Amino acid sequence: MARSLISEVFGETTHSETLRAVLISVVGVGFAIGFIDPLISELLDQKGFDEEYIGFSSGMQRAGFILVSLIIPLVIHKMGARPLFLTGILLLSASFLAVPFVETQLWLLPLRVLLGSATGILFIMGGATVCQLSHRTHKGIMLGFYAAATAGGVTLGPTLIEVLPTKGAFPFVFASLFMLFMAIPLIWAKRLTQNFEDDPVKFNGVVLLLALPTIAVASLVAGMAEAVNENLLAVYGEQLGLSIPGAALLVTVCLMGGIVLSGPIGWLGDKIGYLKGLCVCSLFIILTFATILIERESLFISWPLLFFAGGAILGMFPLTLAVLGHHFSGANLAGATAGYFFMNGVGGMLGPIVCGFMMTRLGDSGFPWFMLVTLVVFVLTAYFFAEKKLKL
């Protein structure tokens, strides 16, 4: 298996060329976004925008991601994969270049929507392409590499802030050019034009996803868990008495777990089945937060558990998309992938709201209880619906 996997990525086939191009480009996009997002908030603060409005505009970026997930199934057949990829790259590049010149609230919101939409195009089409081209025996591990590349870029991107100038327009110009450079392989990726121009999508991507109830719930739950980890895990650490750096380190441990373990979790799904893999991930997350709830004073136990829980949370992404790859192909796979990101985005918006409410009401037990209840809902859905696919 290892030899065939290496051949698939580093060989000389047209599939290999396209897979390399997509993986390289998403690393570039991830680095650029991870580098620029904190600088956008800092720049807007320097220009006098209040914190509430900066936070609201950030939410509009996620809304743009969700919006484009509804549009992609409608245009993929007419535009094709390569024009969509390049449109996303050019829109994101132009958005980066425009940020330093935004002076009024009137232009900020549409710009953040455009940033989110461009990011959505690239991540949705990247996931669908990797899923379509990967061999059926190791879709999981290939999608795991894709998840790790994406998350790794976004996580490590902020490190560039420490080594590059961050004043004025320079960081935005640098991020734009860096991303364009990393996207060059997409121009020559031959198979990028041959996989999504078949029959047009007959249903909205969300409808396609809802035909698989277990996967629809998995998409929602994964989005909730990811967003809560990124936004509220540090707050939970402070509730437990950690310092601000110590609480932030909890988030880093979780994110690193996702980057390191996504590939192995995808490989596990290839071996035992993707739905079983999703259930294993969910049960481990449940076990982790049940242990933390009982032994919340013992951080010695919590740190390693959170590393593996972070891997399980991000590992749900490749396993979920691999299931979609089993049921759909071509333009319908792109539509279903867009449906996944729509549900994931909705979960990302709902998760912090519900978890924040529980943390306010239940104190330092609110966070683990939220994770427990959310993942138990998925396990129950998987148990009752299993691999059932509804007829459209």
- Give the whole-angstrom CA distance, residue 206 versus residue 122: 18
Sign of CA dihedral 306, 311, 313, 314: positive
pLDDT value, residue 193: 56
Locus of tokens 């939410």: 59
The verdict on 229 and 291 lying in the same domain is yes
What domain range includes position 270?
205-385
Last residue of a domain, one of 137, 159, 193: 193
- pLDDT tens-digit readout, 321-369: 999 888 888 778 888 888 899 888 888 888 888 888 898 888 888 889 9
Looking at the domain assignment, is residue 65 inside a domain? Answer: yes
Residue-level pLDDT at 317: 92
pLDDT tens for each residue of 375-385: 999 888 887 77
378 lies in the same domain as 229? yes
Do 115 and 153 lie in one domain? The reply is yes
Highest mean pLDDT among 2-11, 36-45, 180-189, 251-260: 251-260
Shared domain check, 189 and 215: no
Residue 198 inside a domain? The answer is no
Give the pLDDT mean for 1-26.
Answer: 65
Residue 325 contacts residue 134 (beta carbons within 8 Å):
yes
Residues 54 and 187 in one domain: yes
Residue 200: inside a domain: no
Longest dimension (CA), the chain: 57
Q: Cβ distance 175 to 163 under 8 Å?
A: no
User: What does the block give as tokens for 184?
Assistant: 């060059």
277 and 345 housed in the same domain: yes
Look up residue 385 and give its two tokens: 């619906």
Q: Which of 28-37, 194-203, 295-304, 346-355 has the highest mean pLDDT?
A: 346-355
Domain boundary among 162, 193, 224: 193
Token pair, residue 175, equals 């991020």
Is residue 138 domain-shared with residue 173, that is, in the same domain? yes
Q: What is the pLDDT of residues 33-46, one digit of tens each?
A: 888 777 777 777 77
User: CA 204, CA 209: separation in Å to the nearest integer?
Assistant: 9
- pLDDT, mean of residues 220-232: 87
DSSP 286-350: HHHHHHHHHSTT-HHHHHHHHHHHHHHHHHHHHHHHHHHHHH--HHHHHHHHHHHHHHHHHHHHH
Distance of CA 290 to the CA centre of its chain: 25
What is the structure's pLDDT at 109?
Answer: 80
26 closest CA partner among 166, 186, 169, 161: 186
DSSP string across 217-240: HHHHHHHHHHHHHHHHHHHHHHHT
* Same domain assignment for residues 184 and 245: no
Q: Token match 């997350």: residue?
A: 285
The residue written with tokens 């333009």 in the block is 331
Q: Which token pair is 239?
A: 């509730």
Claim to verify: residue 17 and residue 100 sit in the same structural domain: yes
Residue 390 domain-assigned (yes or no): no
- Residue 86 clears pLDDT 70, i.e. is over it: yes
The answer, yes or no, to whether residue 298 has pLDDT greater than 80, is: no
Asked if pLDDT for residue 392 goes beyond 70, the answer is: no
Res 391: pLDDT:
52
Total structural domains within the chain: 2
CB atoms near residue 187 (< 10 Å):
11
Among the three residues 173, 193, 213, which one is the final residue of a domain in this structure? 193
Per residue in 275-288, is it b (16+ CB within 10 Å) or e — as a string? Answer: bebbbbbbebbbbb
**94-149: pLDDT as tens digits:** 988 888 887 776 777 888 889 889 988 988 888 888 888 888 888 899 999 999 98
pLDDT (mean) for 164-193? 80
Same domain, 255 and 183: no
Q: What is the mean pLDDT of the chain?
A: 81
Listed residue (281, 344, 283) closest to 316, CA to CA = 281
Domain containing 302 — which CATH number? 1.20.1250.20
Rounded to an integer, the average pLDDT of 243-259 is 83
Residue whose entry in the numeric block shows the structure tokens 């940020």 = 99
Position 296 confidence tier, pLDDT thresholds 50, 70, 90: low
For residue 335, tell me if it sits in a domain: yes
Q: 307 lies in a domain?
A: yes
391 lies in some domain: no
109 and 163 together in one domain:
yes
Same domain, 156 and 259: no
Decide if 204 contacts 339 (C-beta within 8 A): yes
- The answer to the question of residue 66 being in a domain is yes
Residues 265-277: tens digit of each pLDDT: 999 999 999 989 9
* pLDDT at residue 10, rounded to an integer: 47
